[in-house]
Amino acid sequence: MVGSVIGERFACLSFGESHGRCVGMVIDGCPAGLQLNEGDIQPLLDLRKPGQSIISTQRKEEDRVEILSGVFEGFTTGAPICMLIWNRDSDSRSYEEIISKPRPGHSDYPAKVKYSGYADYRGGGRFSGRLTASFIMAGAVAQKLLYSTLGIEITAYTVQIGQIKANEIDLENAKKNRYANDIRCPDLTAADKMREIILQTKREGDSLGGVVECICTGLPVGLGEPIFSSLESDISKAVFSIPAVKAIEFGSGFLGSEKKGSENNDLFTIKNNKIVTKTNNAGGILGGLSNGMPIKMRIGFKPASSISRTQSTIDLSSLSEVDINVAGRHDPCVVPRAPPVVESIVAAVIADHALRSGFIGPVLKIWSKKQNPKN
Amino acid sequence: MVGSVIGERFACLSFGESHGRCVGMVIDGCPAGLQLNEGDIQPLLDLRKPGQSIISTQRKEEDRVEILSGVFEGFTTGAPICMLIWNRDSDSRSYEEIISKPRPGHSDYPAKVKYSGYADYRGGGRFSGRLTASFIMAGAVAQKLLYSTLGIEITAYTVQIGQIKANEIDLENAKKNRYANDIRCPDLTAADKMREIILQTKREGDSLGGVVECICTGLPVGLGEPIFSSLESDISKAVFSIPAVKAIEFGSGFLGSEKKGSENNDLFTIKNNKIVTKTNNAGGILGGLSNGMPIKMRIGFKPASSISRTQSTIDLSSLSEVDINVAGRHDPCVVPRAPPVVESIVAAVIADHALRSGFIGPVLKIWSKKQNPKN
Amino acid sequence: MVGSVIGERFACLSFGESHGRCVGMVIDGCPAGLQLNEGDIQPLLDLRKPGQSIISTQRKEEDRVEILSGVFEGFTTGAPICMLIWNRDSDSRSYEEIISKPRPGHSDYPAKVKYSGYADYRGGGRFSGRLTASFIMAGAVAQKLLYSTLGIEITAYTVQIGQIKANEIDLENAKKNRYANDIRCPDLTAADKMREIILQTKREGDSLGGVVECICTGLPVGLGEPIFSSLESDISKAVFSIPAVKAIEFGSGFLGSEKKGSENNDLFTIKNNKIVTKTNNAGGILGGLSNGMPIKMRIGFKPASSISRTQSTIDLSSLSEVDINVAGRHDPCVVPRAPPVVESIVAAVIADHALRSGFIGPVLKIWSKKQNPKN
Amino acid sequence: MVGSVIGERFACLSFGESHGRCVGMVIDGCPAGLQLNEGDIQPLLDLRKPGQSIISTQRKEEDRVEILSGVFEGFTTGAPICMLIWNRDSDSRSYEEIISKPRPGHSDYPAKVKYSGYADYRGGGRFSGRLTASFIMAGAVAQKLLYSTLGIEITAYTVQIGQIKANEIDLENAKKNRYANDIRCPDLTAADKMREIILQTKREGDSLGGVVECICTGLPVGLGEPIFSSLESDISKAVFSIPAVKAIEFGSGFLGSEKKGSENNDLFTIKNNKIVTKTNNAGGILGGLSNGMPIKMRIGFKPASSISRTQSTIDLSSLSEVDINVAGRHDPCVVPRAPPVVESIVAAVIADHALRSGFIGPVLKIWSKKQNPKN
């Protein structure tokens, strides 16, 4: 496949452009028998939606999802599920300039070269953060599938904006509070400081990056495939599909590189008749396989590339240095909108592995006949 | 595919086990017309080989590569290239214990569960670092292919062992000195300290982690596929296949998450009639595509899981806590043997993308008729 | 992938159901720079459209294609091309019966078992011939791509309906006359007899099968990949995706099995300074690779399974034999609507191979700057 | 993947060349827990082995299989299974001529063009029938897997050589007698005539083709994936990988194209409390899915391309017509050696689908603890 598909058994194909007609996703391989309608997807899309708060872009999109196929009488059928949202409020006028003047930090220049000028450059086209709406569609289905079959839960939240770092987050707190504020940071004190710095940076015409943490609980032992399809391999591949992500670490990560084996090894023990480890420096993954402990990762986002300051770039026709003022509506910091995107794409990967390992079969048997009158 | 294959156009299938008969690699998709023999692979395997220095495992393996297919009269034919090394010096006696007592930090426990006890546990079996010898085989071919067609060079070296960090490394220095010492650290002063701390830690029966940096130069603009096959996606997927890797960052990485857009954006300019950026915080990748600047990444390794100290674990049959003393021969720190492995697996990914993007075709035309008497 | 995708470099994902909201196709991997709009696709869809003639189903569908993504300012961008038609005239009332009584010859029974009753059974759901409309969408793009870059032409036509066989068809005649009648048979005398027998069989409440021949010219030498991706392998895989196809043969096919090597071998010679063969019993394929001669295949369709006669089947709840009268609107013979479908799916395979072999690159350079004002 | 792999969950990668060092196969995805050793594979390889009878090539190869990986203590581990045979008796002297003079009916010409002369031409190289030994390796494992888990049996036999056709073969007879003679035809009277005609044709320096029939019993209902991965699609793709195959038909096939729906539809009924069809014109496949009836197919082989007569061809350097006498040792008819190859490749496809559909899981639970002392 050429690059728009991820997953083998829960295969997700993303299509659409930022300023084209729509943004959509087709899932091939979702098991039959999952109760599903637009109401399962819309709330997650709403969490990512632009224009929700003063800290995000003012582009107004209803982003109402439509399921076009693969669902019949309220249940998935096993056929591909095509979902999309229509683009309504795209304003492409401000993008004419970037045809010849690539914006620093954006894909404009390599995309122009790669496609000999044929790529849709408006709003970043195929490279826009708007495409992550399609990740949400896949992720909403994956999350419902994982939770209803295996009890797997995936929780992502902001832990850092610029240099403001949250205190360590407790999972219960994270689940409860991550969507309680527009920063998506369960440390409410830190969240206030983060909002403040975002607004101030916005006033300065500048932008910020940050870090998102993600925890997955409920995985059975043994998800992942040795060598080239380890959980870390496939999760990182998916996470780096999110624009602006430049770093990822699992468990103790880079900090673990400074430790000794005797400090970093997680010792096995028994708790409630279950094999667990006393610490979780491995982030729930040993040898690329889930070990039953929570998967834990931290994801680094660069500061948003679109800033309202004059920057220097080059003019592609004259090959001379020129100034550019990036127009268009954009976020001063994309991190607050990222947690549902992270949850989604991680869910899609785990759903894929759960199907590959046989923990979820091609037809769900969990729904009683009462729930599904067709059986 | 089930997990042992990476790449679509330069597809690499790894097979073998640490204490089985052999470790091997099949490449499907290497272009025809590349001059290739064992002499192109052996030197890189030798760099990874165990038993080379007092800081590595004392397992003695000749690791002599044999090409079994896909090469005819000194040139690749376009058919799958099967390569392998035979295991000679495996000593499996010390591994009986881990059948029932999983070693902390290792894959023993999830692998046992995943495969219901059928996995080959000896020396870690399929999860052993020894499998990275197969990565070298693929990488040696990929590196030769990339250099001879596009002039691409991939350079990895140690920049951190435990808490000892090298000074910033200049690429020319890295190319010259990375294999000048057994630490593979071009900062020779730091290398001495690193060796010292490794030896001391070994004496303490403990282990260390570290960080490897990797730089790729000569990439054309536009390698990578938008959305799910970005360069970061595919490189990180490959790099996390190396045992002990727990973190990766591109360009300014996690540090970039603390910066402002005006600090982190790389401004375009012209240098020697070529479009370049003034800084390289993006690590050579914008929107998932190569932008013509060097690809730059840092890779975090955890401390080796095998330590000579008594650790507590559980007995899988009695489900009670017990002590384990990990036997077998092992490295106190795997990082010094990692740079050629990193170079190899990154080369395989870039070769795959160069083929996908058409920068390299299915038959090489670069060899003159004089070189190849068959034409 | 789970089964709805064909192709690696020109990857086609079909979605939708016969009586769902739509039938659609996403192409991932179509090169950038191909001039494309709905007008390139609609005429081919119209050829397949139901309700065109007295010999086909009376379901009336406008089948107006919409391109939702991947095209910008009249040219493909390299991004996935999503296309669909909306279902308008579906009448699902007559299908309630088949929930418990599987129709002979149809997929009802195995589909019900496979999906535990969750499949959309209306009009055959995912198994309906209506899904071949999505093949046309992919094929229209593939045919334009192949013709405009390599001059490849694909021509399919009816050569047999029931026991009525056309005389041998000359390619020029086939190109000119295959769409001149509603049978799609260039032998106009045979076509009249075929129409007559179809109408008579329809009156009898019965149905007919037949044979479609397909010829592809202009292929370069060397398309196809040895062992598991031979041209015959990939074409046959695609052709058997068309409902009702039960047989395929290339070149002299089953008749060739009766011949001797001295009769069946095609001898090489030179014609107009080009290497050709004197005969074409190989159907243009040697060792799975195109040899420069026209690809030639014959495809056998079974008689349509929906007939208006009472047939016996079983009731799935009582497991007793019962009668069924298949309702719904259907074709007495699907063969006349099949040639554009065959052309389409064969074109998609050849486009895939042309991209895999590098005969077509990821960006088309054939369009002059005048044609594309963006360059 | 580039063409040497078939299957997604039971993925088979073939490597090697006719006159290279070896011919081999790697299976990625075989479930853990299958009892396996060389003794499961060798008998099937012996059935295909050259030099067994006066009707086959006199090349003498021991063809002794070695399992290099993926098996531990007599059971598969879930890791890739690499198997190979070494080439011993290759005699390449006679192939120098074909560098410039392509043999009629062989891949020499398109392979030479495709690979710009780099392909290994000796004995047909990668295109040789000898590569089907690797199919046997995969198929032996697949057949054991299918039979021991689901009771699936696959039976192929010769039904036609040249114009000599066997009487209809009863499955029980086929199972018993297909390997009772060197023709692999259970109709013993026909077999004698077939042998006679082969010997006579051999004396005339000519060759023959024929037809192999294959029947698979014991499949559960619902194997196959709609649209592009129907059972017919994937089986035909695999079968056309066998050199010399030019035609395939399922069930009533081309003959069915002449019938009416009322004649060709298979009516459902109940037999021994099981849903069956009264006839099996569908060849066990409806809508691309197994329907519980035996899968039935007929496969047409062209006459062997290597004949001992002088044929005309062209000289590639002078582009003039010349004569060629094909040397090398070859079969006058490959059909008698084909049945185990057909069984093998069909088994590999069905194993793949059984895994995809979840009928076989990634770890076999069927073996008792007594059989496997490790659990």
Tell me the C-alpha distance between B242 and B232, whole Å. Answer: 16
Contact across the interface for D116 and B363, Cβ inside 8 Å:
yes
| pTM (2 d.p.) | 0.96
In this prediction, what percent of chain D has a pLDDT beyond 90?
Answer: 86
In this prediction, what percent of chain D has a pLDDT beyond 70?
Answer: 96
At residue A370, the pLDDT reads 39
Q: Residues of A with CB below 8 A from B110's CB?
A: 221-222, 224, 286-287, 289-292
Considering only CB atoms, B268 lies closest to which of A260, A263, A314, namely A314
Say which CATH superfamily domain D5-356 falls into.
Chorismate synthase AroC (3.60.150.10)
Q: DSSP H helical segments within D39-187, as ranges?
A: 42-48, 108-114, 132-150, 171-177
Task: Dump the DSSP string for C186-243.
Answer: S-HHHHHHHHHHHHHHHHTT--B-EEEEEEEE-PPTT-SBTTTB-HHHHHHHHHTTST
Q: DSSP H helical segments within chain B, as ranges?
A: 42-48, 108-114, 132-150, 171-177, 188-203, 231-239, 253-256, 261-264, 339-356
At residue D68, the pLDDT reads 98
Residue A264 has pLDDT above 70, yes or no: yes
Contact across the interface for B82 and D365, Cβ inside 8 Å:
no
Across A291-306, average pLDDT: 97
pLDDT in tens, B240-290: 999 999 999 999 999 999 999 999 999 999 999 999 999 999 999 999 999
| Residue A8 in contact with partner chain B when CB distance is under 8 A | yes
At residue A44, the pLDDT reads 95
Q: DSSP H helical segments within chain A, as ranges?
A: 38-48, 108-114, 132-150, 171-177, 188-203, 231-239, 253-256, 261-264, 339-356
Q: Residues of C with CB below 8 A from B226's CB?
A: 79
| Residue C5 in contact with partner chain D when CB distance is under 8 A | yes
At residue D366, the pLDDT reads 56
| Residue C5 in contact with partner chain A when CB distance is under 8 A | yes
| Residue A268 in contact with partner chain B when CB distance is under 8 A | yes
At residue B373, the pLDDT reads 39
Please, how many CA atoms are within 13 Å of residue D207, restricted to the half-sphere of its CB?
A: 29
Distances (CA, A) of A140 to A175, A335, C357: 16, 19, 38
Closest CA to C12 of A348, C72, C150, C1: C1
Contact across the interface for C68 and A15, Cβ inside 8 Å:
yes
Q: Which of residues 319-338 of B touch A (CB under 8 A)?
A: 319-321
For residue C91, count other CB atoms closer than 10 A to its CB.
Answer: 13
Contact across the interface for A362 and D358, Cβ inside 8 Å:
yes
| Residue D110 in contact with partner chain B when CB distance is under 8 A | no
| Residue C362 in contact with partner chain B when CB distance is under 8 A | yes
- Calculate ∠ Cα D78-A30-C138, nearest 5°: 105
Q: Mutate which of D95, D100, D116, D145 to disrupt the B interface (most B C-beta within 10 Å)?
A: D116
| Residue B8 in contact with partner chain C when CB distance is under 8 A | yes
Residue B366 has pLDDT above 60, yes or no: no
At residue A375, the pLDDT reads 38
At residue A27, the pLDDT reads 98
| Residue A14 in contact with partner chain B when CB distance is under 8 A | yes
Across D100-125, average pLDDT: 95
Closest CA to A7 of A215, A214, A240, A234: A234
In this prediction, what percent of chain B has a pLDDT beyond 90?
Answer: 86
Across D220-225, average pLDDT: 97
Chain A closest CA to B270's CA: distance in Å? 7
Residue C369 has pLDDT above 90, yes or no: no
Across B203-223, average pLDDT: 97
Is B285 in contact with B331 (CB distance < 8 Å)?
no
At residue C366, the pLDDT reads 57
pLDDT bracket for residue B25 (50, 70, 90): very high
Residue A15 has pLDDT above 90, yes or no: yes
pLDDT in tens, B95-115: 788 889 999 999 999 999 999
Residue D300 has pLDDT above 80, yes or no: yes
At residue D1, the pLDDT reads 59
Of the ranges B326-340, C281-295, D26-40, D107-121, which one carries the lowest mean pLDDT score? Answer: B326-340
Domain ranges of chain C: 5-356
Taking CA–CA distances from D34, the nearest residue in chain B reads B118
Of the ranges A12-16, A210-214, D159-163, D330-334, which one carries the lowest mean pLDDT score? Answer: D330-334
Contact across the interface for B226 and C79, Cβ inside 8 Å:
yes
pLDDT bracket for residue D344 (50, 70, 90): very high
At residue C375, the pLDDT reads 39
Model ipTM? 0.96
Strand, helix or coil at C251? coil
pLDDT bracket for residue A298 (50, 70, 90): very high
Considering only CB atoms, C5 lies closest to which of D4, D228, D269, namely D228
Across C272-279, average pLDDT: 96
Taking CA–CA distances from A360, the nearest residue in chain D reads D358
Tell me the C-alpha distance between C85 and C370, whole Å. Answer: 32
Contact across the interface for A361 and D358, Cβ inside 8 Å:
yes
Contact across the interface for B118 and D68, Cβ inside 8 Å:
no
Interface chains of chain B (3 or more CB pairs under 8 Å): A, C, D
Residue B46 has pLDDT above 60, yes or no: yes
The chain-wide mean pLDDT, for chain C, equals 93
pLDDT bracket for residue C220 (50, 70, 90): very high
Residue C371 has pLDDT above 70, yes or no: no
At residue C215, the pLDDT reads 98
pLDDT bracket for residue D94 (50, 70, 90): confident
Count of residues in chain C = 375
pLDDT bracket for residue C372 (50, 70, 90): very low
The chain-wide mean pLDDT, for chain A, equals 93
Residue D297 has pLDDT above 80, yes or no: yes
Residue A372 has pLDDT above 70, yes or no: no
pLDDT bracket for residue B201 (50, 70, 90): very high
Contact across the interface for B361 and C358, Cβ inside 8 Å:
yes
What is the maximum span of chain C, computed from C-alpha positions, in angstroms?
A: 71
Q: Residues of C with CB below 8 A from A82's CB?
A: 15-16, 22, 24
Contact across the interface for A115 and C365, Cβ inside 8 Å:
no
